[in-house]
């Protein structure tokens, strides 16, 4: 019995879904605590590919309950679509529940996100246009609509009316776009509430009871620390806290209940969307890694930017999260690409060498990574299942990361499939 938190340590898409899927087989609960359907978590079961956006990746294997907790922003239509997809593949979903406190992504959030992104032509932040930022804004401004509101016709109508007064005026006057109709949205969301009512519950009670009953509880993060609203590369971030700290507020769990803090990092770095990326390889090698690693967004299909592993940012992410177990994914992608580089320091614009991450996003664009060069390996490692089966240079690569961060790598992932793992220490 224990609690496990799986979080991303880079810019998202580290393979959290795959790891959550593997760990969820032994979990009584799998809980999403932040983000929304901006996430894209891929799980391969044999040849079959599942991409989960809003549902916890545990939905495929967890025998207990899957919970979308209060910190998540929920697009009910996306939720239903995902439930239907999973059910069409013969799997059950009656173990999935949503917090009554979770905020609802409304059509005006999606439009606001889209219009802002498209302002002045081009993309501003490079969001997923799922309405995430505007929904969290309304939550903080205390004008948001919560899942519980979908079950109360009077409250729902009043809130939609109030919100649309302001939003419609922005759409019309500022963006010069059409306005939305109160009646249409009210009817649609009332019907969605009716459809989902049996799944809308007080999740914090159940989660805390499960903690008291010594159940295995897995908290699944979406996005990653470098996209964290406080500790990422602001403003090129998402609007939630994808850190281990986010579990406490996002699921209603006390900090003392969190035990195994599992950080997932790719053996290199990718980023989708705008923002600084010190170790980016904007060249043929970067394109090579993109092709071999299949680095295309699971939610938007956008090509992911690729680059070398950045230990400066990884150290920052491990510090903020208090990671005590590391997972390195996609080591197989680095096979046969020659010498490998790992950033250990940055050189600032005035020539200072530093090994910590900066709060100045603007300055970061001018920082130059300082690399350690490691020998690569040529062998295909996708069939390795024990650490000893890895080539010496692949082991050196892993151990270099461990030594720099002072944290053990407990799992090395060598392929997208469930079984393609090297587990050095069982956590469960
Ligand atoms: P997430 O958002 O962190 O869950 O990650 P994504 O699912 O968006 O992206 C990770 C991609 O890498 C998916 O296509 C996975 O199937 C794939 N993947 C995960 N682990 C490995 C691995 O060890 N090797 C390879 N080659 N692919 C992996
Ligand atoms: P998973 O869970 C990678 C990025 C977007 C954009 C920024 C803000 O699959 O790792 P948002 O729509 O959240 O307002 O966009 O964050 N982003 C992700 N990048 N993986 C994700 O999720 C992401 N979710 C958001 O590309 O740069
Ligand atoms: Mg993803």
The residues spanned by each domain of the chain are 2-100+202-423, 103-198
State the pTM of this model. Answer: 0.97
Q: Is there a binding annotation on residue 40?
A: yes
Give the per-residue pLDDT at 232.
Answer: 98
Give the per-residue pLDDT at 123.
Answer: 77
Ligand 3 ion: nearby residues, β-carbon < 5 Å: 13, 40, 298
Atom in ligand 2 nearest the alpha carbon of residue 298? 9
> Cβ atoms within 10 A of the Cβ of 33, count?
32
**Which residues are registered as beta bridge partners of 345?**
370
Give residues with Cβ within 8 angstroms of 167, minimum separation 6. 108, 112, 180
- Segments of the chain scoring below 70 in pLDDT: 1
Burial degree of 64 (CB within 10 A; 0-12, 13-18, 19+): middle
Cα of 299 to ligand 2 centre, how many Å? 9
Residues with catalytic function: 13, 41, 139
| CA 55/CA 37 separation, integer angstroms | 8
Which of 14, 75, 263, 273, when mutated, tests ligand 2's pocket best, judged by the most ligand atoms within 8 Å of its CB? 273
Burial degree of 283 (CB within 10 A; 0-12, 13-18, 19+): exposed
Determine the topology of domain 103-198 in CATH.
Answer: Adenylosuccinate Synthetase, subunit A; domain 2 (1.10.300)
| CA 80/CA 87 separation, integer angstroms | 10
Q: Is the CB of residue 106 less than 8 Å from the CB of residue 189?
A: yes
Which of 16, 128, 236, when mutated, tests ligand 2's pocket best, judged by the most ligand atoms within 8 Å of its CB? 128
Q: Is there a binding annotation on residue 331?
A: yes
Q: Provide the CATH number for the domain formed by 2-100+202-423 in this structure.
A: 3.40.440.10
Ligand 1 neighbour 412 (Cβ under 6 A): no
Q: Is the CB of residue 393 less than 8 Å from the CB of residue 374?
A: yes
């Amino acid at each position: 019995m224990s609690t496990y938190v799986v979080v991303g340590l880079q810019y998202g898409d580290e393979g959290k879904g795959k790891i959550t899927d593997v760990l969820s087989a032994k979990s009584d609960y799998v809980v999403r605590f932040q983000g929304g359907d901006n996430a894209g978590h891929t799980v391969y079961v044999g040849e079959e590919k599942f991409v989960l956006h809003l549902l916890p990746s545990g939905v495929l294997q967890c025998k207990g309950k899957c919970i979308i907790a209060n910190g998540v922003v929920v697009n009910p239509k996306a939720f239903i679509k995902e439930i239907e997809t999973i059910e069409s593949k013969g799997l059950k979903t009656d173990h999935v529940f949503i917090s009554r406190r979770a905020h609802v992504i409304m059509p005006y959030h999606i439009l606001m996100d889209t219009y802002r992104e498209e302002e002045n032509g081009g993309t501003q932040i490079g969001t997923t246009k799922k309405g995430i930022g505007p929904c969290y804004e309304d939550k903080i401004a205390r004008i948001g609509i919560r899942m519980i509101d979908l079950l109360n016709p009077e409250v729902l109508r009043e809130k939609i009316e109030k919100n649309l007064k302001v939003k419609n005026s922005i759409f019309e006057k500022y963006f010069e776009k059409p306005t939305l109709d109160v009646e249409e949205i009210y009817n649609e969301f009332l019907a969605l509430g009716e459809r989902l009512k049996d799944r809308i519950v007080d999740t914090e009670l159940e989660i805390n009871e499960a903690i008291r009953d010594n159940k295995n509880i897995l908290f699944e993060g979406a996005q990653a620390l470098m996209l964290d609203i406080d500790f990422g590369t602001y403003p090129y971030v998402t609007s939630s806290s994808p850190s281990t700290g986010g579990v406490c507020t996002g699921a209603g769990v006390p900090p003392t209940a969190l035990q195994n803090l599992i950080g997932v990092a790719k053996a290199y770095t990718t980023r989708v969307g705008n923002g600084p990326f010190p170790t980016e390889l904007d060249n043929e090698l970067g394109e090579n890694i993109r092709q071999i690693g299949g680095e295309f967004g699971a939610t938007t299909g956008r090509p992911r930017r690729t680059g070398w592993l950045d230990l400066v940012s990884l150290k920052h992410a491990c510090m903020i999260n208090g990671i005590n177990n590391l997972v390195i994914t996609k080591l197989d992608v680095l096979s046969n690409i020659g010498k490998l580089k790992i950033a250990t320091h940055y050189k600032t614009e005035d020539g200072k060498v530093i090994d910590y991450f900066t709060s100045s996003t603007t300055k970061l664009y001018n920082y130059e990574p300082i690399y350690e060069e490691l020998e690569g390996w040529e062998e295909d490692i996708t069939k390795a299942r024990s650490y000893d089966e890895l080539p010496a240079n692949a082991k050196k690569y892993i151990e270099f990361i461990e030594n720099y961060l002072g944290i053990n790598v407990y799992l090395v992932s060598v392929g997208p499939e469930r079984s393609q793992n090297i587990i050095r220490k069982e956590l469960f």
